[in-house]
Amino acid sequence: MDPNETIEPTYYNSLYRHGVDEKRRVQIPAKWRPSRPGTELTLILWPKAKEGPCLRVLPPPQMARLMKYIDAMANGDPNKGVLKRFIGSESIQATLDKAGRICLPEKMAQDAGIDKEAVLVGLLDQFEIWSPERYERIKASDAVMAQEAFKLME
């Protein structure tokens, strides 16, 4: 790569519904695909939603930021070990195949409730993969909270 060449940042916006094939492969929108072949995305089983877990997909800069955040925590903080173990054991590195798909590991897909269809939700700097049913529940919950959340931007 030319050192003077700059890579435009990828913004993960919009929402996409894609089928999941029998090998648990899901299509990643063309605009969201890494510009460099072989780039690994990190898939994490994300348990934070009361509606149930989803898969959070972090591009390399976001994964590096997460690692830096955890490493900056005090070594005596018990949450540091919990986060390292949980994220370390509940995540994988995935590359896109030539057709622009990633394969969801069986256990992760089951835990996230993803079967025949997936909803890919842009989070601007990363994205999530949801089961359609869980996404509808989180979308309704988000709609209730959106008015308050937007006040933070004023």
pLDDT > 80? residue 154: no
133: containing domain: 15-151
CATH of the domain at 41: 3.40.1550.20
**Spatial separation of the C-alpha atoms in residues 1 and 90, rounded to whole Å:** 33
**Displacement of CA 97 from its chain's centroid (Å):** 17
Closest CA to 86 of 110, 53, 59: 53
**pLDDT score recorded for residue 108:** 96
Task: Report yes or no: 129 and 81 within 8 Å, Cβ to Cβ.
Answer: no
Q: Please indicate, yes or no, if residue 96 is contained in any of the structural domains.
A: yes
The answer, yes or no, to whether residue 1 has pLDDT greater than 90, is no
Place of tokens 């890579």: 7
Q: Is 29 exposed, middle or buried (0-12, 13-18, 19+ CB in 10 A)?
A: middle
The answer to whether the beta carbons of residues 17 and 119 sit under 8 Å apart is yes
pTM of the model: 0.89
Whether residue 9 lies inside any domain: the answer is: no
- Nearest Cα to 70, choosing from 60, 84, 56? 84
90 Cβ partners below 8 Å, 6+ apart?
44, 45, 108
pLDDT at 2: 52
Q: Say what the pLDDT of residue 7 is.
A: 64
pLDDT on residue 10: 86
Residue 89: inside a domain, yes or no? yes
Residue 4 falls within a domain, yes or no? no
Q: What backbone phi and psi angles, to 5 degrees, belong to 111?
A: -60, -30
Residue 35 domain-assigned (yes or no): yes
Number of domains in the chain: 1
User: Does residue 1 form part of some domain?
Assistant: no
Three-class SS string for 44-101?
Answer: EEECCCCCCCEEEEECHHHHHHHHHHHHHCCCCCHHHHHHHHHHHHCEEEECCCCCCE
Q: Is residue 138 part of a domain?
A: yes
> Any idea which of 26-40, 43-57, 74-88, 138-152 has the lowest mean pLDDT?
138-152
Confirm if 109 and 119 have CB atoms less than 8 A apart. no
**6 located within any domain:** no
Asked if residue 93 has pLDDT above 90, the reply is yes
